[in-house]
Copies of this chain bind each other. A is one copy, B any other.
Amino acid sequence: MADRNDVLGAAQRVLNADPGASMTVVAEAAGVSRATLNRHFDSRETLLVELGTRSLDQWAQRLDAVDVEAVAASGDAARIRAALEDLVLGYVDDSDAFGFALTDHVILANAALEERTQALADREAVLFAAAQASGVLRADLPLRWFGHAIYGLLVAAREAVRIGDVARRDAGHLVLSSLLAGVVPS
C-alpha cells in the first residue's frame, strides 16, 4: 500500500521532472488512484505547498546540521568557512530532489512558505554576517546577496546536470568553487 509519504515522494519525483504535471499524472506515478490522491491532499495546491514545506524542512535541517548559530557565534574563521562549504554542498545534493521548488510559481507565491523562507534566509544571514566579520566572505557585498548567489548557482547546477553539461558528482564542486573563488584564475 502506498503510504501518504510514499505518495509525497512520488509526487516530488514527477513534479521535479515536470512541474506542470496534472494530478492524474501524479496519481499514476504514485501508483494510486486520483481519488486516493485527493483523499491525501485536498487540492493540488495543498500538495504543492506540502512539497514546498518539505523542501524548507530540508533546508532547516541543513542549517541545523552545521549548527549555524553556534558556528556564527564562535567567530572562528575556519569553522565558519567549513560550515559554509558543508552547507552549500548539502544544498547541491538537495537541489537534485527539491529543485523544482526553487522555481515553481505556486510554491513561490504561497505566503506562509515565503514567510518561512524569509526566516530561514535570516538564519543563514547570521552565518554570512559572521563570515563577513571574520574575513571569510567579502565585506563589500550586501549581506543578502550571498543567499541569492547560492540560490542562483543551485539553479544553474541543476540545469547543467539536466542538460548533461556537467556530471552530477561534479556539481557540488563547481558550485562551491565558483561561488567562493569565482571563475577567474587567482
Q: Which residues of A contact B (CB under 8 A)?
A: 19-20, 103, 105, 135-139, 141-142, 144-146, 148-149, 151-157, 159-160, 165-166, 170, 174, 177-186
Contacts and interface: CB of A to CB of B under 8 A. Distances in A.
A138 B174 contact: no
Q: Give the number of copies in the complex.
A: 2
Nearest to A128: B183
Given A145-B174, A153-B149, A156-B151, A182 B179 contact: yes
A114 B157 CA distance: 18
A94 B174 CA distance: 26
A23 to B, nearest CB: 17
B138 A149 contact: no
A142 B174 contact: yes
A144 B170 CA distance: 13
Given A151-B155, A151-B159, 7 more contacts: A135-B185, A138-B181, A148-B166, A152-B159, A153-B153, A178-B179, A178-B182
B157 A154 contact: no
A160 B147 CA distance: 9
A122 to B, nearest CB: 12
Contacts of A182: 178-183
A79 to B, nearest CB: 15
Given A19-B105, A105-B20, A153-B152, A165 B184 contact: no
Contact of A183 (B146, B165, B174, B183): B146
